[in-house]
Structure 1
């Protein structure tokens, strides 16, 4: 799996685990909702700074957004 797609799948996975909408995540991360949507679909290549803001908004370590899933994530 491409790293950008992996990041997107992990963002979606952790966002849903927290019960957050894309809009809430975007607000908490200081981003546009459409940008979060693009990230989750794997069509944006975010900066390291953006990755950090997403992780902060999700309350997780940034490395979790780049780890391969254990047991598989649905993309």
Structure 2
């Protein structure tokens, strides 16, 4: 697995959990204190997110770090990019 694969898989996981919680990117941004554009970049796999921001998102989503970092259930394959902003 290369670096872009892991960023895409994490982005897909974040998007999946955000949608499961019925949150928009704007709502997650407000809950986490991060910007919507940053969250969008992470979900698309174009950001190398820090551990601190992963922790911040886990709190905002009310999930454990381990649950957020469980990439085995990513909905989309790592090589697939979704360019829609939601």
| Residue number in structure 2 paired with 1:73 | 75
1:39 paired residue number: 42
Query: TM-score, normalising length from structure 1?
Result: 0.88
Q: Which one has the largest radius of gyration?
A: 2
Structure 2 distance, partners of 1:64, 1:4, is: 16
Moved over 3 A (4+): none
In the TM superposition, residue 62 of structure 1 has moved relative to its aligned partner by 1.3
1:50 aligned to 53, 57, 60, which one? Answer: 53
Residue 64 of structure 2, aligned match among 58, 61, 66: 61
Deviations 1:8-37 (A, max 9, x none): 011000000000000000111110000000
Matched positions, count: 74
Deviation at 1:6, TM superposition (A): 1.3
2:80 is aligned to none
Structure 2: unaligned runs, 5 residues or longer: 78-86
- Compute the TM-score of the two structures, normalised by the length of structure 2: 0.78
Cα deviation for residue 64 of structure 1 reads 2.0
Q: Structure 1: 5+ residue runs without aligned partners?
A: none
